[in-house]
Structure 1
Amino acid sequence: MATALDERAGLQGGTLMHELYNTLQGLMLGLHELLEDPRLGQFDTRERAVMGRLARFMAPHYDGWDIDTDHERRGDDPKYLDILPNGQAGQKPIIPDIIVHKLGVKDNLLVVELKLSDNHDIALDLWKLTHMTRQNGLYEYAVGAHVILNLEQQTVAQSIIFVDGAPHPELTDWFRRHFD
């Protein structure tokens, strides 16, 4: 059964939704592997260390794709968005936490913004995911994920999945159910 997203994209049989589920599956498996290590919650582990570890766990699930953390370049130029957080036109430099892409070409699969549960400043992350997943934007990532981890409880405390510049309730619910 095709979804509205598939119909908008001119796809039949839910092809696009199937691809999005498969894309998120690699992130989900990486997160489960990451959260199996109880040592992460025993130390004052910070976001960048967790990002790097998660990217390593994700890598086997994205054969043929490049996975980078803190990737601030677009070719030779700094990575930026063409709209400011206040909605006005302008250029704002960005550094996504984790990206799954093909280096050197505009083939962008997944962008992940990661937070630890003690960091409640998520507005900039949500803004980045909105604009990095716009299909008429600069980057056109197929899907974006905002993930908040509670390392002490070894769980995903919160997640929001973005498609085409907006939260996607169906994918968000599906993703969250795998961490209940």
Structure 2
Amino acid sequence: MTKAKIGIVLGSASDKAIAKKAGDMLDKLQIPYEVTVASAHRTPEDAAAYAANGEKRGLMAIIAVAGLSAALPGVLAAHTALPVIGVPVSAGTVGGLDALYSVAQMPPGVPVASVGIDGGANAALLAARIVALLDENVRQNLEDLRVEQAEKVRKSRSTLELPEAPEEAFK
């Protein structure tokens, strides 16, 4: 088995659906990954150790999935030089806004990238772009995906059942 390049850390096993979105995208791009659960509040020593050991184990980025106070991305970032990508989860009474604010408003010196609420697939794409800096195969897989997505949009134009813009509008 190939060593993981991306670590996905869930603050709770209930965040598994978000990890699945990220994992599906990483699978599509052929990037090996691993998933674990480590709580910033209930197992902070595990979260810190996972982050601190990530680089020497070959990880190139960590995706941190957390809801409510969403402290996990910051805890991980405080213990590693690896890029940490926070995925706020739509949990609690405010639908994930508290998690989004927690991830996006890190103090100076502890950067965490943030994607949108429940944005597991985008977190995987951002992590893939980091890996692609050193891996030509991943870079090509990202380019293939970009072309595939563009073609899907172009094909969708004819399904609107409304007056279409002419092709010369796009040249």
After TM superposition, the score normalised by the length of structure 2 is 0.31
Radius of gyration: which is bigger? 2
Between the two structures, name the one with larger relative contact order (CA 8 Å, sep ≥ 6): 2
Richer in strand (by share) = 1
